[in-house]
Structure 1
């Protein structure tokens, strides 16, 4: 009886680990949209509202430029937030440009579906 329970526990642990790995893999397939922000930032709050319909197409990463470890970003963007990078590349600043975001997300999605390089 203990042997059977031990295998059930191992199976449950294996299944849970497998599930977590698959969820992580799915998440990492999405592009990362980085929002450079600070608190308070009414324009950033407005931008996040505009982005809500697209939330399933990217992972939103927020970087608070006022934190000591982000001082380089503070020097660069202190007068321009919100600033957005897509997969580490500058995308837009001040307000969300929905058509530009759509275009870049579509390029990345097509790149992922085709498995080839994105043409500019």
Structure 2
């Protein structure tokens, strides 16, 4: 179909286990803060089991428009957990708040 957008599909990191939580990391290539955020989230996975879903914003115009100046962006169930320089303590606190609701 001319002018149709390609499907915006995520890349999943994990070993195929069943996870109760999925965090989405919006990123792009050659982004040092994105690489740092991914490393931080991988550390967090040792404490809290979750599937990390990476979405390269350059794969989808809608993602680029929404997150272009904010990346890296971390979401859980569509809710923003953090962006830019990521702080694990703040992410853990936010996840705790969400689960308390």
For 1:27-62, what per-residue CA distance to the aligned partner results, in whole angstroms no more than 9, with x for missing partners? Answer: 242x11111111121111111122222114221100
Match of 1:36 in 2: 26
- 1:107, distance to aligned residue in structure 2 (A): 4.5
Structure 1 residue ranges without an equivalent (≥5) = 1-23, 112-117
- 1:95, distance to aligned residue in structure 2 (A): 1.5
Match of 1:47 in 2: 37
Match of 1:93 in 2: 83
Provide the rounded CA distance (Å) in 2 between the counterparts of 1:88 and 1:28: 17
TM-score (norm 1): 0.60
Give yes or no for the alignment of 1:62 onto 2:65. no
Once the two structures are superposed, the pairs formed by residues 1-120 of structure 1 within 5 Å of their partners are 27-29=18-20, 31-56=21-46, 57-67=49-59, 70-107=60-97, 111=99, 118-119=100-101
Identify, as 1 or 2, the structure richer in strand. 2
Moved over 4 A (4+): none
Provide the rounded CA distance (Å) in 2 between the counterparts of 1:105 and 1:63: 20
Structure 2 residue ranges without an equivalent (≥5) = 1-15
Bigger Rg, which one: 1
